[in-house]
Amino acid sequence: MSEQHEETHFGYRKVAKDQKADLVRGVFDSVASRYDLMNDLMSFGVHRLWKRFAVELSGVHAGQQVLDLASGTGDLADRFSGLVGPEGLVVMTDINANMLVTGRDRMLDHGRAGNVGYAQVNAEQLPFPDNSFDCITIGFGLRNVTDKQKALNAMYAALRPGGRALVLEFSKPVIKPLEKIYDLYSFSLLPKIGKLVTRDEDSYRYLAESIRMHPDQETLRGMMEEAGFENCDYHNLTGGIVAIHRGFKL
């Protein structure tokens, strides 16, 4: 069956596989200019702590090569740029041109020009030689990828032996009372915040739906193992609302 006849999920909707990337692109075209503000509002600023912990788990140090997929406005890439120093390199990528431009402008404002590269890429089809990077990260982007397994396989191929990959993503709450509160917030309050701040209620409704369609913690760990990663683990944050998955290429 050709990809144009195969289906996947775009939130709760079923769409043709070859349409999803364009639909996701439309979401982020709409919200790019206020993406950082919305992240602060919808997480009450806690997303900064999640990202800080992900950077700590990465083990990145001076002189290393880091690939940051779905970089958005560059929160992770900014931190990695400071860690790898002038001898290292951070490649900041996104499938969405508007997000990548917004992120590049922010990095330049922060004086991060010397050791940061930029590339508009699809995480499923990485245009880098095998064994290129010491660390590969994807923060809040895997759930938007059409073929998640294909993306994990590509990450494994591009990683050097001894390197590690980290997936920072919304996940499944592990505390039952929290799950009910989280659902109420996600489907009632979050779209209204999106409408007020970005004038785009639908994109933030998609956000809530895409989180619910994303694999749970154990399923994603299994997918990483299937891609070839070893010693895979995950860390639940904020009661499992977010999880950081980590795997190694030995």
Q: Which residues are annotated as a binding site?
A: 73, 94, 122-123
67 and 127 in contact (C-beta within 8 Å)? no
123 and 129 in contact (C-beta within 8 Å)? no
Strands (E), 82-183: 89-94, 116-120, 133-139, 159-170
The DSSP code for 94 is: E
For every residue of 196-226, which 3-state class applies, written as one string? HHHCCHHHHHHHHHHHHHCCCHHHHHHHHHH
| Backbone φ and ψ of 6, nearest 5° | -80, 150
Q: Counting beta carbons within 10 angstroms of the beta carbon of residue 178, is it exposed (0 to 12), middle (13 to 18) or buried (19 or more)?
A: middle
Query: Can you tell me whether residue 62 is helix, strand or coil?
Result: coil
Instruction: For residues 232 and 166, give the distance between their C-alpha atoms in angstroms, rounded to a whole number.
Output: 10
Cβ of 151: how many Cβ atoms within 10 Å? Answer: 24
* Residue stretches of the annotated binding site for S-adenosyl-L-methionine: 73, 94, 122-123
